[in-house]
């Protein structure tokens, strides 16, 4: 009886921890997609407005910055620095490892590894 | 053997002239290759009789931050990144900056979204491959077989591109024929992958990831200095004639190499005015958006990088790996953009169809001979690190996902071991034969792999990890539908008159819709089984 209760407690722990893990992973995924979205919008909008210049409107002397076309610096390199810093901040502040690792409950594990056609 | 050599025609005679190659170039290159084989020999000692599969396919799930970071990025950054993409910059100038816009966010989107969740579930279920995980989650062999077949198909296309890249580097460094380069490359990479398994692959990838970044970053000051400054290189590009336009009797557009969508492109090897545009390289706005999506989302569920997510030790390793990965892509692609735009001004004398040789040729031109070997080893390392991973993915899909799990569940360890070795070697030999066709540009094949892979695998895999309501039918519909729509759009381009997007966007979107709709229309999975994956109250 005591052993059965102990197993039930262990299983309850497992399910609670697993649910918490899923919530945390979802939160991290939302942040990652958020950085992806903001980075993409900034990067592409600058490239599209400054990089796609009709032939007739291109200046006789190309606009350069640090030896490159200006759209490359503003639309690519600067957003790249930004997303690099955002990724570091994500790793420090958002990415967590608070859910202890637990094995699948035994009985269910056997079920899980038995697949059907 | 003679037959294979004959494919290369008169060039094959050079096989006997290896002694003419500069020893200063060969010494560091050979040193690098020796390092790779030493690693494989050491890694082989971990392949004990017990737990052979866990060691061979996921390296005992013991990798720390450095191995995770460098093996992930080295696998992701293939010959396409170190030869194919530089070749496009060499051909089309600064306009190719848009091509890598998606890489600004590859690190965070590629490894974070699925990495932690896959790692934990794989440990809990004992999964050695993503297919293992899906098969258990849905309790369906059909899911496993369909997934494995899709993976084998797209990975084979990818491997072919990488073999071509490896062969071209050896062709250049050994001054031999393409076929002989291909043969030497195949034998060496298949040997150490088969012998050492995943641990050898991950360790050599780490070495290769370091060699790659050192090599490509070192080229920057050398190339800039050789041309007299980046501004001078860009000014030289501003007046560059567009051979494709000239061949058509047209004038070069003003600053075609500095602005988007860039100069005109050709599909065929020679500058044939009747050639169709090379769609995968042409960059109107719609395709620019497509490339952004592809280069960021495409990294999430790539068959070759997934094994790293199964193999890292804990979240701490993942966090530290992110510190390394975040600036890696900036350094890698930023360096390529700068060096290859300088390469124009140096006039490497490469014909349009030889532009994949631009990196090795530039290295030979600007670096001291002692450094050239290392610089050439960088793209070679990129190719090898991708090939070894892809070979293991094919081996795992065939041995573990198709044969063992589906047809022979009671296969002994000895038989599994033998079959794993054989399949890895046979896959290498098969791709060698495919690579003899020598496609003119690498990058379209690489893009085909990433696009095809993510069209079919992204949504089914992501939904499996995060959406409890996903069903077997939904996943299969997403897999088959995404692949089919991608292939059809790639062949027929049915929507080009309406909107110019890469076929990937259509396959990718269709796959997501199918997973969602079909899952909602089919019965839910057993709730108690799902609780194992999602907990209760999630």
Three-state secondary structure readout of B359-370: HHHHHHHHCCHH
Q: What is the pTM of this model?
A: 0.85
pLDDT number for residue B69: 92
pLDDT number for residue B19: 39
Note whether B310 and B119 are within 8 A (CB).
Answer: yes
Q: What pLDDT band is residue B21 in, cutting at 50, 70 and 90?
A: low
d(CA B362, CA B365): 5
Selecting from B233, B329, B534 the residue whose C-beta is nearest the C-beta of A18 gives B534
Q: What pLDDT band is residue B84 in, cutting at 50, 70 and 90?
A: confident
pLDDT number for residue B233: 94
Mean pLDDT for B444-461 is: 88
Selecting from A52, A109, A115 the residue whose C-beta is nearest the C-beta of B141 gives A115
* CA B451 to mean position of chain CA atoms: 11
Other beta carbons within 10 angstroms of residue A116's beta carbon come to 8
Q: What pLDDT band is residue B468 in, cutting at 50, 70 and 90?
A: very high
Contact map slice: B 449-508 vs A, CB within 8 A: 465-466
C-alpha torsion angle, residues A24, A25, A27, A33 (rounded to 10): 170
d(CA A58, CA B208): 42
Q: What pLDDT band is residue B358 in, cutting at 50, 70 and 90?
A: confident
For residue B279, is pLDDT > 80?
no
pLDDT number for residue B268: 37
Mean pLDDT for B25-39 is: 81
Q: Lowest-confidence range among A69-73, B16-20, B443-447?
A: B16-20
For residues B83 and B17, which has the higher predicted lDDT (pLDDT)? Answer: B83
Complex ipTM more than 0.90, yes or no:
no
**Least CA distance to B537: which residue of chain A?**
A19
Mean pLDDT for B220-224 is: 94
DSSP string, A30-76: HHHHHHHHHHHHHHHHHHHHHT---GGGS-SS--EETTEEHHHIIII
The most confident of the ranges B50-64, B411-425, B511-525 is: B511-525
Looking at the complex, report in whole angstroms how far the Cα of residue B323 sits from the nearest Cα belonging to chain A.
Answer: 6
pLDDT number for residue B440: 61
**Least CA distance to B235: which residue of chain A?**
A62
Looking at the complex, report in whole angstroms how far the Cα of residue B93 sits from the nearest Cα belonging to chain A.
Answer: 11
* CA A65 to mean position of chain CA atoms: 32
Q: What pLDDT band is residue B448 in, cutting at 50, 70 and 90?
A: confident
pLDDT number for residue B267: 41
Of all residues in chain B, what percent carry a pLDDT higher than 70? 89
Note whether B418 and B238 are within 8 A (CB).
Answer: no
Mean pLDDT for B27-31 is: 79
Chain A positions touching B318 (Cβ under 8 A) are: 95
For residue B478, is pLDDT > 50?
yes
Picking from A12, A61, A63, A84 by the largest number of B CB atoms within 10 A of its own CB, the best residue to mutate is A84
B245 touches chain A (CB under 8 A): no
pLDDT digits (tens, 9 = 90+) for A43-101: 999 999 999 888 888 988 888 999 999 999 999 999 999 999 999 999 999 998 777 77
pLDDT number for residue B58: 82
For residue B526, is pLDDT > 50?
yes
d(CA A26, CA B538): 11
For residue B537, is pLDDT > 80?
no
Looking at the complex, report in whole angstroms how far the Cα of residue A3 sits from the nearest Cα belonging to chain B.
Answer: 21
**Least CA distance to A104: which residue of chain B?**
B124
Contact map slice: B 169-188 vs A, CB within 8 A: none
pLDDT number for residue B501: 85
- Residue A101, helix vs strand vs coil: coil
The most confident of the ranges A38-47, B16-25, B209-218, B422-431 is: A38-47
Count CB pairs under 8 A between chains A and B: 212
Cβ-defined contact of A52 to B532 (cutoff 8 Å): no
Query: Among B314, B302, B294, B300, which residue's Cα sits nearest to residue B68?
Result: B314
Other beta carbons within 10 angstroms of residue B511's beta carbon come to 29
Q: Please, what is the average pLDDT of chain B?
A: 82
For residues B176 and A50, which has the higher predicted lDDT (pLDDT)? Answer: A50
For residue B215, is pLDDT > 70?
yes
Radius of gyration of chain A (CA): 26
Q: Which residues contact B464 (CB under 8 A, 6 or more apart)?
A: B133, B134, B137, B138, B470, B475
d(CA B380, CA B169): 7
DSSP assigned state of B349: -
Chain B positions touching A97 (Cβ under 8 A) are: 314-316, 319
Note whether B335 and B496 are within 8 A (CB).
Answer: no
For residue B343, is pLDDT > 80?
yes
pLDDT number for residue A109: 46
* Tokens of residue B189, six digits: 């990479």
Chain B positions touching A71 (Cβ under 8 A) are: 97, 259-260
Cβ-defined contact of B319 to A95 (cutoff 8 Å): yes
pLDDT number for residue B319: 94
Other beta carbons within 10 angstroms of residue A54's beta carbon come to 8
A8-31 burial string, b = 16+ CB within 10 Å, else e?
eeebeebbbbbbbbbebbeebbeb
Looking at the complex, report in whole angstroms how far the Cα of residue B321 sits from the nearest Cα belonging to chain A.
Answer: 9
Contact map slice: B 305-364 vs A, CB within 8 A: 314-316, 318-320, 322-323, 325-327, 329-330, 334, 337-338, 341
Q: What pLDDT band is residue B117 in, cutting at 50, 70 and 90?
A: very high
Q: How far is CA B219 from CA B222, B368, B374, B440, in A?
A: 5, 11, 11, 25
pLDDT number for residue B282: 53
**Torsion angles phi and psi, residue A65, rounded to 5:** -145, 130
Chain A positions touching B289 (Cβ under 8 A) are: 44
């Amino acid at each position: 009886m005591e052993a059965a209760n102990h197993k039930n407690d262990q299983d309850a722990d497992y399910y609670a921890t697993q649910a918490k893990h899923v919530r945390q992973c979802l939160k991290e995924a939302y942040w990652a997609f958020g950085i992806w979205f903001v980075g993409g919008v900034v990067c592409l909008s600058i490239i599209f407005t400054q990089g796609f210049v009709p032939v007739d409107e291109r200046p006789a002397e190309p606009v350069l910055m640090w030896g490159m076309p200006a759209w490359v610096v503003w639309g690519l390199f600067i957003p790249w620095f930004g997303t690099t810093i955002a990724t570091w901040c994500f790793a420090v502040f958002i990415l967590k490892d608070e859910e202890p690792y637990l094995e699948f409950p035994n009985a269910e594990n056997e079920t899980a590894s038995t697949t059907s056609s | 053997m003679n037959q294979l050599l004959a494919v290369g025609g008169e060039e094959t005679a050079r096989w006997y002239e290896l002694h003419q190659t500069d020893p200063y170039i060969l010494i560091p290159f050979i040193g690098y290759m020796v390092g790779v084989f030493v690693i494989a020999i050491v890694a082989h000692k971990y392949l004990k009789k017990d737990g052979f599969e866990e060691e061979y396919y996921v390296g005992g799930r013991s990798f720390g931050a450095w191995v995770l970071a460098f093996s992930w990025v080295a696998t992701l950054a293939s010959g396409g990144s170190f030869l194919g993409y530089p070749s496009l910059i060499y051909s089309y100038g600064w306009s190719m900056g848009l091509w890598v816009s998606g890489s600004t966010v590859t690190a965070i989107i590629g490894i974070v979204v699925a990495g932690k969740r896959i790692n934990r579930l794989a440990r809990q279920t004992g999964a050695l491959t993503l297919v293992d995980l899906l098969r258990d989650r849905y309790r369906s062999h059909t899911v496993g077989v369909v997934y494995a077949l899709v993976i084998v198909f797209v990975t084979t296309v990818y491997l072919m591109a990488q073999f071509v890249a490896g062969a071209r580097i050896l062709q250049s460094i050994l001054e031999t024929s393409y076929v002989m380069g291909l043969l030497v490359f195949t034998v060496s990479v298949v040997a150490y992958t088969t012998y050492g398994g995943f641990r050898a692959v991950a360790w050599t990838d780490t070495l290769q990831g370091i060699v790659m970044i050192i090599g490509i970053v070192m080229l920057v000051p050398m190339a800039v200095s050789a041309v007299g400054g980046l501004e001078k290189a860009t000014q030289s590009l501003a007046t560059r004639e567009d051979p494709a336009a000239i061949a058509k009797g047209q004038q070069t557009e003003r600053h075609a190499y500095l602005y988007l969508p860039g100069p005109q492109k050709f599909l065929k090897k020679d500058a044939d005015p009747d050639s169709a545009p090379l769609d995968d390289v042409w960059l109107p706005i719609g395709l620019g958006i497509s490339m952004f999506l592809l280069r960021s989302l495409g990294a999430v569920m790539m068959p070759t990088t997934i094994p790293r997510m199964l193999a890292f030790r804990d979240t701490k390793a993942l966090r530290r790996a992110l510190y390394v990965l975040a600036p890696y892509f900036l350094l890698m692609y930023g360096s390529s953009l700068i060096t290859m735009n300088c390469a124009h001004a140096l006039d490497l004398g490469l014909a349009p169809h030889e532009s994949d040789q631009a990196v090795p040729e530039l290295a030979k031109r600007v670096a001291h001979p002692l450094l050239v070997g290392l610089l050439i080893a960088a793209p070679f390392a990129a190719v090898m690190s991708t090939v070894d991973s892809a070979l293991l993915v094919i081996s795992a899909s065939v041995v573990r996902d198709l044969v063992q799990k589906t047809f022979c569940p009671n296969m002994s360890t000895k038989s599994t071991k033998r079959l794993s070795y054989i399949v890895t070697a046979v896959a290498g030999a098969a791709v060698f034969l495919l690579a003899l066709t020598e496609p003119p540009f690498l990058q379209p094949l690489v893009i085909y792999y990433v696009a095809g892979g993510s069209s079919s695998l992204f949504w089914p895999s992501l939904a499996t990890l995060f959406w409890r309501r996903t069903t077997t039918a939904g996943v299969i519909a997403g897999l088959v539908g995404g692949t089919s729509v991608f292939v059809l759009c790639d062949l027929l381009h049915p929507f080009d008159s309406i909107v110019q997007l890469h076929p990937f966007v259509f396959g990718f979107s269709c796959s997501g819709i199918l997973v969602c709709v079909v899952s909602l229309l089919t019965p839910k999975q057993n709730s108690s089984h799902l609780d194992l994956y999602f907990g209760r109250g999630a």
